[in-house]
Amino acid sequence: PRRATDMETGEYQPAWSPNGEHIAYTTWSNADGGHLYRVAVGGGNPQRLTSKQASFQEPVYSPDGQRIVAVRSPARNFREQVGGGATDLVWVPANGGAITVIAPAGGVSSPHFTRRDSTRIYAYGGGRGLVSMRWDGTDVRTHLRVSGGGAPGGGGGGGGGASLVMISPDGDQAL
């Protein structure tokens, strides 16, 4: 393996493009905040996709590779480890441009897709369960909720729910 970039800032949470030609990732530095970038798999000059700093997490390409979805929150939240401010699901064109807010995150994260339906974005939030929505945040559907906790016979940490549930690429199963 060899490094694809030579940036001196922190680079995190890489995500493959569907065609395998690019990697999207988040960056963070206290001086510059965070951004979304992409770079060709063979290396080269990384392309900054966002113009305004924020804390970006969990980038994922849309099935057609034209957009990148991420969870965005104010840079101040990450920099100062404070709450407050809106956390949103957003998308940006895969070649950079204006950020579009899909919807307030409302406790969901881990955006992902199925191969069968590129019109819906799936995400998971413990209390809300596995949900999907359209690109404009409308038509929110709950597909699965996990309740209960612990292993049969006790133990297992109790709790309740699951830390993460994702729909399968074919959209017919979840784990």
Give the model's pLDDT for residue 3: 84
Kindly state the tokens that stand for 117: 């339906």
pTM of the model: 0.89
For residue 136, what are the contacts with CB-CB under 8 A and spacing of at least 6?
102
Three-class secondary structure of residue 81 per DSSP: coil
Provide the pLDDT confidence category of residue 32 given band limits of 50, 70 and 90: confident
As a whole number, the mean pLDDT across the chain is 89
Residue 78 has pLDDT above 60, yes or no: yes
* Mean pLDDT across 137-157: 74
Percentage of residues in the chain having pLDDT higher than 90: 69
How confident is the model over 71-95, as a mean pLDDT?
83
pLDDT of residue 31: 85
What is the reported pLDDT for 152? 56
- pLDDT tier at 155, thresholds 50, 70, 90: very low
User: Taking a C-beta distance cutoff of 8 angstroms, is the pair 13, 35 a contact?
Assistant: no
Nearest to 92 by CA among 130, 29, 135: 135
Count Cβ atoms within 10 A of the Cβ of residue 165 and give its class: 0-12 exposed, 13-18 middle, 19 or more buried: buried
Bridge partners, 141 (sequence order): 132
Model confidence at 114: pLDDT above 80: yes
E-assigned strands of 30-153?
33-40, 47-48, 55-61, 67-73, 88-93, 100-104, 109-112, 120-125, 129-134, 141-144
* Average pLDDT for 12-38: 95
